[in-house]
Each structure stands twice: as C-alpha cells, then as structure tokens.
Structure 1
Amino acid sequence: MRLEERINKIKTFSNTEYSLIEYILSAKSKVISMQTADLAEVTFTSPASVTRLSKKLGFSGFNELKFFLKSELERQEKISMESWDLLQNDINKTISLISETNLIPMNELIAKATKIFVFGTDWGERNATELLVRNFMTIGVFLISVPSITEFRWIAEEVTPNDLVIVVSFSGENTEVTEISRLILLKGTEIISITPLTKNHLSSLTVNNLYYQTSELPRLSNNPNAEYNMFTTLHILLDALFRNYYDNFLHS
C-alpha cells in the first residue's frame, strides 16, 4: 500500500495535518533525510504534530514513516529502471523484426492500390495510423483513415480487389474486426495486418503481416483491471514502412 492510499483511508485531517501531508507528498526524497524537528520547522508545525500524524497513518512514529517512504521510493526507482530496460529491449527487438522483413512487397501493394484504407482498432492504434496517413500525404500518397468499427464495416461492403486495407490491432483478437476482415478478403482485397509479435487471429488471415515488440509495464495502475498499452515501437514500425516506400517507390 502506498502512502497516498493510507491517507485516502482516513476521512478527516486537521489543517496542521494537511500542511504536513502536502509537504511530505511533494518532497518525499527530502523527508526521508529529515528529523522530526526539521519537518516541523519547514511546515511551520510542531514535532508533536509530526508524531501524531505518523501514528494516525498507522506508523509507530516518524522514523517508521520515513522508512516506509524510503522503501516506496526504492521500489519506484527499481520499476523505473526495469521499464527503461523493457523499452530498450522492445525497440531493439522491433528494429530486428523490421530488418528481417521484406517491406517492399507491402509497399508494392500501397503503390498499386486504387484506394488505401487504414484502420486502427483503438485509440492508441488510431493515433499511430494518423501519423502514417500524414507522412504518406507529404509525398502525394493519400491513405483513407477509417475512424471506427462502424465505418470499417461500411468499407467491407464497398472495397474492390484493386483496393488495400491496412489493419492495426494491439491484440489481433477482436472478433468483430476478424469477421469484417474475412469479408474483405473474400472480395479479393489485400489486407496488411500490423500487430505485436504474438500468434493472433488477424495475422493468421493474411500473408501480409508486420510485427512489433511491446511489453506490458508492471504495476502501471492501482486498478488491477486497468489496461494501458504502449505504442512507441508501433510508431517505429509504421515509420519504417513509410521510409521504405520513400526510398524505393517515391520516384519510380
């Protein structure tokens, strides 16, 4: 349990206690080196008030509160280092996946298509695809961004074998997206699927698959049911797709 959670469990505090809490939360790294009198001085309170607040929060005294804060800061620092290592690994793995993939056939589909539809299944994916659309726009290649699953179903009824659909999905397991993609493929329209490197239904539908590596951050939220996906490496992959087109198809 974090200190903020302990504080939230207590319904009332005095004005003096609020002053102490505000300072402690804003300067945890300083507080762990303070004595009771030091904290009282900078908050214009008293050593007795510091001790009372410490006990009110469930500690035996200020020293135990400081030890708790120190342990909390060390855990956060460890998580921070772990997350940086994860990001470096994800970037390196994604670059390796890109290097092992021949992007030219994918970009040939883009170069030859009459219409190119791009669909991201959720906010993060759509945000990444908007930049892809913008990048291609700068070189006179106009991709059509599909804003939601409703419009994705609409285009499934209208696409032709001369068109191309790019689907970006974090899981590749959305049942409705998979069903609509099947309908598109039945019309003879090519699909490029872009997903993390996992076995998923979307990528199994088509031979045109691009993958990126992404890792979940531990304890990102206090809510165990909260889901927050990271998209740094997706942006790298989409940028690589654009740059490959720029290098190989722009003047052809």
Structure 2
Amino acid sequence: MSFEDNVKMHFDELSENDKEIVRYLQQNMADAINSSIIELGEATLSSKSTVLRLAKKLGFRGFSDLKFQLEQDYKADKIIPTDLEQQLHHDIDKTFAYSHQINFQPLIEAIHDASNVYIYPTGFSQQNFAREFSNDLLIAGKKNYLLDGTTNFDRITRKLNQNDFVIVVSLSGNTPSIKNSIKMLNFRKVPFCSITEFSRNYLSEHANYQLFYEASVIPTAEPGDEMSSMTSLPIILGILSRKYREFVLFDE
C-alpha cells in the first residue's frame, strides 16, 4: 500500500500537527527519503518522537518502514504509464501488493462462521464480478445469497442478525441510496465487509472489515469524458475466494 493510501486510511486519526508533517512529506518526498528522523523533525518543527508516532499511526512499523515506502512511491512516480496497457499492469500490481500486506484470516473466519452470507453489489459491473465470487464461495462449500437492487438490500438488512454476514461490493463506497441500509446493519450489529476502491469512503468507515482495490481513471471516446476501470475488482475478489478455499481445504 502506498504512502498516500495509508494516509487516506488513517486520516481521521491524525492531529493537525500530523497533517502538517504529512503535507511536508508529500511536497518534499525527495528530501524526506534522504533525511534522518532527527533531520525530518527539524524540517517540520517537530520532534523525533512525533515523527515516529506519526509513522505508527499511518500503519508503518517505524520511521525506516515509512521512509522505505516513500522511496518506493517516489520511484513509481517517475514511471508514468504511457499507454493503457501499462496502466492496467499498474492497477493489478498495486492491488496484489496491497493484498500481500493485509491479514485475510479474521475476514475469512467471519465468512466461514456466519449462518448466512449475503453479497450486495452496488452496480452493474460490480454485479458481474460479484456473481463469479458468489459461485466461487459455493464451490468452496459456503452457501450465499447474491442480492440485486437497492430495495431488496434494504428489506434484507431489516431481517438480519449478528450471525449473518454481508459483503458490499462498490466502486466509490459512497452510494447515497444504500446509506440507510448500512446504518441498519450497524444498528442491528450485523458484521459486514466493504470492498471499494482505495479511498476514505462511507462504506469502509462503517464496515467491520475492509478490502480495497485500485481503480484508475481511463479516457473514453467522448472528449473530456473519463471512467473508472474496475479491472482490479475481480482480482481482490479472486484473492479472497481462493484464500477462503485454502482455509476450508487446509486450515479448517
């Protein structure tokens, strides 16, 4: 996960002083990767301990870990995709890199232990990818229900309990029409997992479990018009379904 992604995930936990240091790192990345923790503290008018606490708030093991990620991001920024194939490669690589940094086990166990699993995709493309994911879970022996339509999702959420589990597959994670349903899940203490693009969004902030994927913007035939590519969504769904199957076959 990139430095920017870590900042998005933990932004609400940062103090104003933390945010000032983050802005310095974003604007002076080349200098930061060549600075010691003491030098960085001096440059940001803060202390060594403040910088170290910030690194840990952002999910890094320490300052060296943070600086290594900054260096990787700095190198990546120098390699700008020159065509859509390279952009596709970048999206897939970033999603796989993210998947290597997270622990799937608690999510897998929650899916396995649930009495009923419900999968709700928020759009047409998400529906297509979610259908294959649903089939993968069935093949692995986990019965699940693929929901279609906001009305159906709203009705179902009013009947669920703590023994059920919901997976919401989205792009932005900010679909207005399902916010009341998400509030109902929280009210009824129904555990759920959000799967969205890398961003701070409503779904991930209210979910018990979160997964993310890279969704880059690509041009369309209409001048000035753009769309988000969800090519990496089936990647993260495929990783989750395979890890679930591994759990059932080898770890259960």
* Gap runs ≥5 in structure 2: 1-80
In the alignment, does 2:250 pair up with 1:248? no
Percent identity among equivalent residues?
26
- The runs of at least 4 consecutive aligned structure 1 residues that moved more than 3 Å come to none
Assess, with a 3 A threshold, how the Cα gap between structure 1 residues 224 and 149 changes in structure 2: closer, same or farther: farther
Give, in whole Å, the separation in 2 of the partners of 1:81 and 1:223.
Answer: 18
Give, in whole Å, the separation in 2 of the partners of 1:105 and 1:152.
Answer: 25
Give, in whole Å, the separation in 2 of the partners of 1:203 and 1:85.
Answer: 28
Letter in 2 for 1:140: G
In the alignment, does 2:234 pair up with 1:202? no
Give, in whole Å, the separation in 1 of the partners of 2:106 and 2:234.
Answer: 20
Deviation by residue 1:140-198 (Cα, 9 ceiling, x = unmatched):
21110001111100111110110000001101111221221111121010010000001
Deviation by residue 1:199-234 (Cα, 9 ceiling, x = unmatched):
11111112300000110112x131656x64322210
When Rg is computed on C-alpha atoms for both structures, the one with the higher figure is 1
In structure 2, what is the equivalent of residue 6 of structure 1? none
Give, in whole Å, the separation in 1 of the partners of 2:105 and 2:185.
Answer: 22
Please show how residues 1-252 of structure 1 align to structure 2 within 5 Å.
81-218=82-219, 220-222=220-222, 224=224, 228-250=227-249, 252=252
TM-score, structure 1 as length reference:
0.65
Give, in whole Å, the separation in 1 of the partners of 2:125 and 2:110.
Answer: 25
Letter in 1 for 2:124: W
Give, in whole Å, the separation in 2 of the partners of 1:221 and 1:198.
Answer: 27
Letter in 2 for 1:126: Q
Give, in whole Å, the separation in 1 of the partners of 2:117 and 2:249.
Answer: 16
Give, in whole Å, the separation in 1 of the partners of 2:88 and 2:145.
Answer: 31
Aligned length: 171
Give, in whole Å, the separation in 2 of the partners of 1:89 and 1:210.
Answer: 18
TM-score, structure 2 as length reference:
0.65
Deviation by residue 1:16-58 (Cα, 9 ceiling, x = unmatched):
xxxxxxxxxxxxxxxxxxxxxxxxxxxxxxxxxxxxxxxxxxx
Letter in 1 for 2:222: N
Letter in 2 for 1:198: S
Give, in whole Å, the separation in 1 of the partners of 2:167 and 2:130.
Answer: 9
3-state DSSP class of the match of 1:188? coil
Give, in whole Å, the separation in 1 of the partners of 2:229 and 2:161.
Answer: 34
* Gap runs ≥5 in structure 1: 1-79
3-state DSSP class of the match of 1:102? coil
Assess, with a 3 A threshold, how the Cα gap between structure 1 residues 186 and 214 changes in structure 2: closer, same or farther: same
Assess, with a 3 A threshold, how the Cα gap between structure 1 residues 250 and 185 changes in structure 2: closer, same or farther: farther
In structure 1, what is the equivalent of residue 7 of structure 2? none
Q: Higher mean Cα deviation, 188-197 or 198-207?
A: 198-207
